[in-house]
Chain A
Amino acid sequence: MQQSNTYIIVFSVILTTVLALLLSGVSQVLGPKQKEAQDLDTKKQILGAVMPMADIKKMEPAAILDLYSKVITAEVADYQGNLITTNEKGGPMVAEEVNIEKNYKKSPEERQYPVFKYHQAGQQNNVEAYIVPVYGAGLWDAIWGFLALETDLNGIKGITFSHKGETPGLGARITEGPVQARFAGKTFVDGNGNIVELQMVKGENTPESKLGPHKIDGLSGATLTANGVNDMLNNYYGYYQNYFDKHVRTGAMANN
């Protein structure tokens, strides 16, 4: 009796409908909460580029959001460096809501480039670091992060990385604090003002004297992830040059 084709089809249709309704219902109910969590996570990572992650992790979510709203001012630019103030729907552009992953799929000229300016509370004009999102490909899947540049726009103040599927214990180590700390103090520009590509080298425990200001100690067993990191940083540093030229290098005096 149960085995008739009609029964099977009816059963499957009902089951699918019930499960689909259940899942979409849950997704609707939890949606806002998930968005909050995602937003908090993004802000944590942005702040993590300019202050120790361990300190941020100790803070309550409300305190993090409060701190973020005080010390970060954000804007969005296009590839030419012109500011974008309205989003596709005509509302105000919110830098935190720019989906870096979606933008990454477009050609560099069509992407939107958010910039997060770090300053002490209440001192918007006295920017201490420019934080820009970076996105690229690791060995297995996407890697991304936030790169904090010193006010000279050459030196790295700090960095945070995340990844989707790098090998635990190898490439996934880019999320570890000590690994990220290796980038601080490195610079994209040499003494003559020429841009030099940053390179996370092959092999680990290379002495600092051999590395110099443009090379970063690598990850043993994760050279391909490190290559992805190199490309990601160098590419995005290049993409932001137009913005920096228009709004930071020349306009710095006028803005103040």
Chain B
Amino acid sequence: MSTETLEAPIVKEREPLLSKRRKKFVTDPLSDDNPITIQVLGICSALAVTTQMKPTFVMAISVIFVMVFSNLTISLMRNLVPTRVRIIVQLAIVATLVTLVNEVLKAYAFDMYKELSVFIGLIITNCIVMGRLEAFALGNKPYDSVLDGLGSGLGYSWIILAVAFFREIWGSGKVFGYPVFEKLGMEGVALNGLMVSPVGAFIVLGVIIWVQRTKTGYVEH
């Protein structure tokens, strides 16, 4: 009898799977605390892979995968990792996951592998991944860390997809490789070669950051 009465309050105290606090882990990085536009992390890949939407999409999926699972792994190990070597441990985990992504792409999407393998390798150095491991996963429970990784990954993804959308439609007149202007009968639309080069990404990203910061009222301190 006594054990039953003890158990009941514990069950009650458990947080719902998607409590308000946890929802914030996912929603915050989408806008108010976006890794690219607010924290200005992961810019290099945002510039490099965003010429077309298709490779950008694969890159986004890969980053989300790496973020979620590295956050999960580090969080599970957080009480075991010796603090003095924690950075190299994080690096080893991230590098392993990135290599996994690369190997899977090589086996099942060889064309994507040829196009993206350089950038996939660079996920290791993507500041967002290490940043979240260091700032969040090392001090929080696994489930929360997974949500945090998912949030940051999605926040990164929607920005690079937005950049890629503008660059592809202005640079090559296509969306996901589909020739939009041609199909709409607007053959003569002038395309801007600047959008294809990384400079175009700088401009688009700058405009997105501007618009977003105006909306959220965020100011650099």
Contacts and interface: CB of A to CB of B under 8 A. Distances in A.
Interface residues of A, number: 25
Given A23-B100, A41-B114, A3 B51 contact: no
A165 B122 CA distance: 14
Contact of B100 (A3, A16, A26): A26
Contacts of A62: none
Nearest to A20: B96
Contacts of B93: 19
Given A2-B82, A169-B196, A169-B197, A37 B106 contact: yes
Contacts of B99: 23
Interface string A154-193: 0000000010010011100000000000000000000000
A63 B104 CA distance: 23
B84 A19 contact: no
Secondary structure at chain B's binding surface: helix, strand, loop or mixed? helix
A40 B51 contact: no
A33 interface: yes
B103 A26 contact: yes
A12 interface: yes
A127 to B, nearest CB: 29
B82 A3 contact: yes
B51 A169 contact: yes
A30 B106 contact: yes
A195 interface: no
Given A23-B96, A168-B51, A8 B110 contact: no
Residue among B107, B108, B198 with the highest chain A CB neighbour number at 10 A:
B107
A7 B92 CA distance: 18
B18 interface: no
A245 to B, nearest CB: 35
Interface in A17-55: 19, 22-23, 26-27, 30, 33-34, 37-38, 40-41
Given A11-B80, A169-B196, A37 B96 contact: no
Interface residues of B, number: 29
A29 to B, nearest CB: 9
Nearest to A18: B96
Contact of B104 (A12, A22, A30, A170): A30
A38 B85 contact: no
Nearest to A32: B107
A41 B107 CA distance: 12
A66 B92 CA distance: 43
Given A162-B114, A169-B51, A15 B92 contact: yes
A26 B85 CA distance: 26
Given A3-B82, A23-B96, A169-B196, A38 B103 contact: no
Nearest to B111: A41
A34 B114 contact: no
B29 to A, nearest CB: 27
Contacts of B197: 168-170
A15 B83 contact: no
B87 interface: no
A37 B107 contact: yes
Interface of B: 48, 51, 80-85, 88-89, 92-93, 96, 99-100, 103-104, 106-108, 110-111, 113-114, 118, 193, 196-198
Given A33-B107, A37-B108, 8 more contacts: A2-B80, A12-B88, A19-B96, A30-B104, A30-B106, A41-B110, A168-B198, A170-B197
